[in-house]
Amino acid sequence: MAEAVKLSTLDAGFLYMETPEMPMHVGSLSMFQLPNDYQGDFFEAFKAQIADRIEDAPMLKRKLARTVLDFDHPSWIEDEQFDINRQIFRASLAAPSDMAALRRTVGWMHAKLLNRARPLWEFYLFENMPGNQVGLYVKIHHALIDGGAGMALTRIIYDVVPDARPRPRATAQAKPDQAEKPGLAEAANSAMESYLRFWQAPFSPDAVNFKLPRSGKTDLGSVLLDHVAGQVELGVKFAAALPAMAGAATRSLAGFLDPARVNDLQTLVAPKTPLNKSISSERAFGSITLPLSRVKAMGKAAGGSINDAVMALSAGMLRRYLAETGDVPAKPLTAGVPISLREEGNANTNNQVFAMICPLATDIADPKQRLATIIGEAGKAKAMVSPFKEFVPLMTNASALGLPMAAQLLALLYSRSGLADVLPPATNVCISNVPGPRMSLYAAGAELLHLYPVSIVTHGMALNITVQSYRDQLEFGLIAGANILPDVQRLADMLADELDVLEAAFALAA
């Protein structure tokens, strides 16, 4: 049996924050084109493919195991009753079975909590859509996976050729060191030996990799022992990182004390808008595809990146929407922008993400000047958070006994209190850009046409804009609290208009 894996504080936090109004899973809506002469059962072929490859993503066969009285973070353990028929479902749409109906259904399904008694993911296949197309809606809990690790999982769904064959597998060999997990006394002795070895050479460069053994069990004694080991381990790593942290803090503090930076800090304070209220337990989903080459050219013409161009498109769309309601704030809206901390080649299925706040220049009417301002503000935001990026994993692994229960009670209280309607928002909207494959992909013989991301909204931030690149396409997925933005597709359609406006401002041919 696979060893239990305790969740980090960041991963577990997505479980603690979850309420019926705030599901904490992410997902995607993929559109496939079946061959004109396709005669098989695509659902069964797809399910067989996933079953054949599930061992390449072992976390998909694990479920949660809580500790006694929720004293500490839960662990991932192997689901001995794993059944792929409980994870992959055949779905259907009411007539006319078109994209509008599919988007409405995805919004409705994305509002439903995942079953914590099973592995925290589900696939739904919508067949018999117009044009011989098939829709695949995927939902995976954020505690299990982030955007970067999600790309590693695409290999169990997608192929680079339409007629991929079953993958050969080596016969599993029993390892002589796969003995029974150490008991409480053995784990305690091993932890003490590791601890003493460390203090023979404290604060060495190797200290950041210092690791104490864990029992991995869920009884009260083991939970307490593992927690102590975790706290000692974290303290050692903090001590080893203190010189670098002090240097980063000194550099950042000098910038904050600069009078010229005071105005920069003021722009990070988000204004209140109709988007920043408590959300209901309903979701609305919108999607649109824009040409990657056009967006990239527009960003380059302004001296910026694709990320800058995506934020400018989003800013123009938000300004346009708020102008319709007469609610364009005098201060610029701000965006929470996730930053991946994942190193190239790292496919671990845990969250490795940080975030920065970037002003969107929505107070500027001229689209060209707005984009230029966003480029400048994004550079300042990156410079502000960059010194601390390498220390985020240390901070996100800090924990305290009783935290799971306390955090869940606070999340429920906040969800029911309506505080999001009166408190100033931390940020107005979340905008995330995930790089994707440039080549064509296939699944069970069908060609992937579109890959729209479906993300998370929270109280006080009713709109999330996530972008996934695929081939020469930028796939925008907008998820919103339906009580705030019931027709979020209208906002998605505005993005195409904003691209035309920005291209005209830079005299680019569409």
What secondary structure, in 3-state letters, does 261-300 show?
Answer: HHHHHHCCCCCCCCCCCCCCCCEEEEEEEEEHHHHHHHHH
Lowest mean pLDDT among 289-303, 331-345, 380-394: 380-394
Please check whether residue 28 is in contact with residue 138, taking contact to mean a CB–CB distance below 8 angstroms. yes
162-210 confidence digits (pLDDT tens): 887 776 665 545 444 444 445 544 444 444 444 344 344 444 444 445 5
Q: How confident is the model at residue 242 (pLDDT cuts 50, 70, 90)?
A: low
Q: Which DSSP helix (H) or strand (E) runs through 393? A: helix 392-396
How far apart, in whole angstroms, are the C-alpha atoms of residue 222 and residue 218?
6
pTM of whole model > 0.95? no
pLDDT at 29: 95
Q: What is the pLDDT of residue 72?
A: 78
Query: What is the average pLDDT value for the chain, to the nearest integer?
Result: 79
pLDDT one-digit tens code per residue, 349-383: 444 455 788 999 999 999 999 999 999 988 887 77
Q: Which stretches within 164-261 are classed as H helix? A: 184-199, 220-256
Q: How many whole angstroms separate alpha carbon 268 and alpha carbon 264?
A: 7
| For range 57-63, the mean pLDDT | 87
Angstrom distance (rounded) from CA 334 to CA 376: 14
CA distance 289 to 404: 40
Given a cut of 70, whether residue 152 has pLDDT beyond it is no
CA–CA separation, 29 and 479 (whole Å): 12
Question: Mean per-residue pLDDT for 233-258?
Answer: 55
**Using CA atoms, how far apart are residues 99 and 107, in angstroms rounded to an integer?**
12
Which superfamily does 272-401+424-438+453-505 belong to?
Nonribosomal peptide synthetase, condensation domain (3.30.559.30)
Cα-to-chain-centroid distance, residue 95: 32
User: What are the pLDDT digits (tens) for 16-41?
Assistant: 889 999 999 999 999 999 998 888 89
- The pLDDT assigned to 418 comes to 83
Is residue 298 predicted with pLDDT exceeding 50?
yes
Which pair of tokens denotes residue 219?
């009884």
Q: How much of the chain, in percent, has pLDDT values that exceed 70?
A: 70
Q: What is the pLDDT of residues 399-437, one digit of tens each?
A: 555 566 677 778 778 787 888 888 888 899 999 988 888
Q: How confident is the model at residue 290 (pLDDT cuts 50, 70, 90)?
A: very high
Cβ burial, residue 415 (10 Å; 0-12/13-18/19+): buried
**Residue-wise burial string across 468-504, b where 16 or more C-beta atoms lie within 10 A, e elsewhere:** bbbbebbbbbbbbbbbbbeebbebbebbeebbebbbe
Residue 316 per-residue DSSP state: H
Residue bearing the bigger pLDDT, 2 or 257: 2
Q: Round to the nearest angstrom and report the end-to-end CA distance of the chain.
A: 57
DSSP 461: B
- Cα separation, 143 vs 26, in Å, equals 10
Query: Higher pLDDT residue, 356 or 60?
Result: 60
Per-residue model confidence (pLDDT) at position 402: 53
Helix (H, G, I), strand (E, B) or coil at 82: coil
Span of 6-10, 92-96, 440-444 with lowest mean pLDDT: 6-10
Residues in CB range of 37: below 8 A, 6 or more apart: none
Residue 261 pLDDT > 70:
no
d(CA 87, CA 107): 19
pLDDT average, residue stretch 235-240: 53
What is the Cα–Cα distance from 65 to 77, expressed in whole angstroms?
A: 6
Could you tell me what percent of the chain has a pLDDT over 90? 45
Give the per-residue pLDDT at 235. Answer: 53
**Token pair belonging to 165:** 């064959």
Fill in the amino acid letter for 285: F
Instruction: Answer yes or no: is pLDDT of 13 > 90.
Output: no
For β-strands 133-141 and 75-78, DSSP reports them as unpaired
Kindly calculate the radius of gyration of the chain based on its CA atoms and give it in whole angstroms.
24
Residues in the chain: 510
